[in-house]
Chains A and B, each alone.
Chain A
Amino acid sequence: MFRFGAILAGGLVLSACDGPLSALQPEGPAARGIGTLWWIMLVAGTAIFLAVAAVLVLAFVRPAWLRRFGGTRLILWGGLVVPLVVLAGLVTAAFALGERVLVVRQDEALRIEAMARRWSWHFRYPGGHETVDLLHLPAGRDVDIVLTSEDVIHGFWVPRLGGKLDAIPGHTNIIRLRADRPGTYGGVCAEYCGIGHAPMRFSVEAHEPEAFARAVGLPPDEAGGMAADGEGGR
């Protein structure tokens, strides 16, 4: 009975790792970087937990071993040196990743404007075409999503493609996304914005270049050469 329950619980937990909103199934460089950092933190966190648990068990089972190691040395290593090394590694990884995710000193990319309002997402493409709660992307290309809001602060998040960024009234934020291959991904509002926050979702469809041009009403020959003519200022 216990084994059955454990398998059921484990299955339930693991099933949460799948699906259109799973950050553990990255489909783009930004999300992959975040996923890597998540795995590093999981492994490091597990190792720290096991080490602390081991010391705790030793304190009960073999107190003499700890005494021989010395109280001061235990505090110095366990409380200072090891946490500092672990934290320094994590901070370095996070800084390096943050620099890559931010859109600075990088090439121009296709720009799509995203306007959030309670409680829907409005996307506008270079040719002027607009969609609601559905974002079309060309697969395999960098796209800058120029975010802003009409009313309150919202949060733009496509977990399988990249990190979160706030959509703020009167201000534009830019997040760079790239979908490695065509497919449909989920997006959510990641900043509480009122009674309609939870259902404020949108879909992201990544297409081949020709299909993307068709979807947003652009002539097919323009699909390849519209990198720099997006609208919206930085």
Chain B
Amino acid sequence: MPKHETPLLDQLESGPWPSFVSDLKRQAEYRHQKQNEVEYQIPVDVVDDLLGLLELSYKEGEVHWKHGGIVGVFGYGGGVIGRYCDQPKDFPGVAHFHTMRVNQPAGKYYKTDFLRQLCDLWDFRGSGLTNMHGSTGDIVLLGTRTEQLEEIFYELTHNMNNDLGGSGSNLRTPESCLGESRCEYACYDSQELCYHLTMEYQDELHRPAFPYKFKFKFDACPNGCVASIARSDMSFIGTWRDDIRIDQEAVAAYVGGELKPNGGAHAGKDWGPFDIQKEVIDLCPTSCMWMEDGKLAINNRECTRCMHCINTMPRALRIGNDRGLSILCGAKAPILDGAQMGSLLVPFVKVEEPYDEIKEVIENIWDWWMEEGKNRERLGETMKRQGFQKLLEVTGIKAMPQHVSEPRHNPYIFWKEEEVPGGFDRDIKDYRSRHPK
């Protein structure tokens, strides 16, 4: 017998798709079944009350959560997001319902014993409800009380060798694709760089001093499996600066049907024989590929790293050997100024320990944004407000053709005094000696 009747939520279970309501009901039942085995540190009916509160919100069309607060663990300014219910008498199980963000391992590789420990901890000290994973990539533990926070933090850090993630005006938990651990397209070790910068910038992750959130994401190739170009203030995307490697025998094997395109992904129905002209060459966004005497040719200077040809014929085409990454800045979701994709700042940099060149770019950008950014302004908005030229100036990077996204957009050039030989001061007498009135 459920604690609260939930007719409106029950409707959400009637569709063909998986339902979070069914999951919550199952978890509510599980907590009651296990109450003789687990010494719950927060109310056993936390999930029942969560369902009841949600039903009330559906009924009234109004939210009953209060967000934010001073909750946190000692010395940390992020990682815990306070949430309280404004109807604690009717729903005492969710009077406090704080979220904890836990830093996920790079590439999201887990050992099963870690996951068991995590679930046991969260059953014991939280609601047992998790979000694997949140949008930023963290492990999200949903629903606990204030007095449990330090205990959970101690267990995570001392016995599970893990840490809280970022929230608030902090560097958010950095996220990487699985990179060289499994992927043949990886142009650099994205997990290593992600881990290194996470450790390097611990203070920025845990002690807030930015105007707003700041996200790093690491994609080891331009396929962008963590979508860094759209979701992070600074995105690090693997690339190469030499030529795509071509195996002409494998090209012929694709054309002849011996090798299946896209690794055999198009297997569900009869797609017809592979047509390299139609499926690869004509789809190249810069038209830089053609067939010549039965061989595939590429004008590599025009390649924009769309990855389509490599993804379609991975045995025939491989990423180049001179590898590194590109840095793009300013992507964000549409809160203040509308959504933005990242703008290319560094076209190519080698990825070599101790990553000093990369850190220099990061720190110059932070110094500028911390100084000039308005409260709740993302880097992309500061860039838009002060101009890309200003970003180049603060990072000491010279303008180059790769920075131009659309030519002839702005015909004006403003010179600074230090850029002009002799400055702006002119000796009028000297001038008049050569240019009489």
Are A and B interaction partners? no
Q: Which residues of A pack against B, CB within 8 Å? A: none
